[in-house]
Amino acid sequence: MLVVEDEMMLLIMIEDMLSDLGCQSVSVAATVKQALALVGTRPFDIAMLDVNLNGEMSFQVADALVSLHVPFIFSSGYGADALTSKYYDRPLLRKPYSYHDLENVLQRVCADGTGGRRRV
């Protein structure tokens, strides 16, 4: 799984939550550049993108994941307005979120063939 998140405290907690969920390998990126490099070099089952990475938006990474048919979810400390219209129907975890919130969203995205898109 790919986790794109730049805040270290939050990242450590996410890694713990994912480990509890049984996720076996987690790759992390803090910037769009790092994320794109990872996406380009190894396959991922699923990804989690923080919308705002210290001022930089992660939509470029989302574009790359879409082209590789990798399902993903967004997370954000801003509201639903954070999402650009192109990705408005994607699952969005609003910070702070609980272990169960994360679990539900990831399960939905994994199980759902449409990559967890909300039906608009």
Partner 1 sequence: MLTIDKKSRDQIVAEACVEEFRKKLGPFVVAVERTRMAMVFTTAKQPDNPIIFANDSFLKLTGYARDEVLGQSFNALIGHASAPDILGKLKSAFGDDNEEILESTCNRRDGSVFWAAILIGPVRDADGNIVQNFISFNDLTKHKDELAQSRMFIDELNHRVKNTLSTVQSIVSQALRATNDPLVIREAIEARLFALSRSHDLLSQEIWKGAELNGLLTAALEPFQDASRKSGRFVITGSKIHLSPKVTLALGMAFHELATNSVKYGALSLESGSVSVDWAMRQTPNGERLIIRWQEKDGPVVGLPSRRGFGSKLLERGLAHELDGNVDLQYRSEGVLCTISFIVPKDDRDE
Q: Which residues bind partner 1 (CB under 8 A)?
A: 6-13, 16, 28, 30-31, 34, 52, 54, 77-79, 94-96
Q: Cβ 32 to partner 1, closest distance in Å? A: 12
How far apart are the C-alpha atoms of 61 and 112, rounded to whole Å? 21
Q: Compute CA distances 61 → 5, 43, 99, whole Å.
A: 12, 14, 24
43/79 with CB nearer partner 1: 79
Q: Cβ 57 to partner 1, closest distance in Å? A: 14
3/71 with CB nearer partner 1: 3
16/63 with CB nearer partner 1: 16
CA nearest to 40, candidates 25, 49, 29, 48: 29
Q: Cβ 101 to partner 1, closest distance in Å? A: 12
